[in-house]
């Protein structure tokens, strides 16, 4: 999980952290699938990530109902 407190956002901390991780692991044949809240999607898009369609279903079950 990557989290930058609201007061520190927009200063490049999140970008620097992710760029350092990308640099560290660039030689390895890895693919990262990350679940991102909608409020953070723009940030990830701006730093080069690509949005992929989800391949899952959201399901619910109400217990105690006949």
Taking only the tens place, the pLDDT of each residue in 2-33 is 889 999 999 999 999 999 998 999 999 988 87
What's the confidence (pLDDT) of residue 12?
94
Is 0.75 surpassed by the pTM of this model? no
With beta carbons less than 8 A apart as the criterion, state whether 53 and 47 touch: no
Structure tokens at 65: 């109902």
pLDDT digit string (tens) for 26-63? 999 988 878 888 888 999 999 999 988 877 888 899 99
Structure tokens at 53: 């369609």
What's the confidence (pLDDT) of residue 33?
79
Q: Which residues are CB-neighbours of 18 under 8 A, at least 6 positions away? A: 2, 47
What's the confidence (pLDDT) of residue 19?
92
Q: What is the CA radius of gyration of the chain?
A: 17
How many angstroms from the chain centroid is the CA of residue 21? 13
Cα 29 from Cα 46, distance rounded (Å): 23
């Amino acid at each position: 999980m990557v989290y930058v407190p609201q007061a520190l956002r927009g200063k490049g901390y999140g970008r620097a952290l992710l760029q350092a991780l990308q640099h560290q692991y660039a030689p390895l044949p890895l693919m990262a699938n990350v679940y991102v809240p909608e409020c953070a999607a723009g940030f990830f898009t701006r730093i080069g990530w690509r949005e992929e369609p989800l391949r899952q279903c959201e399901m619910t079950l109400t217990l105690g109902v006949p």
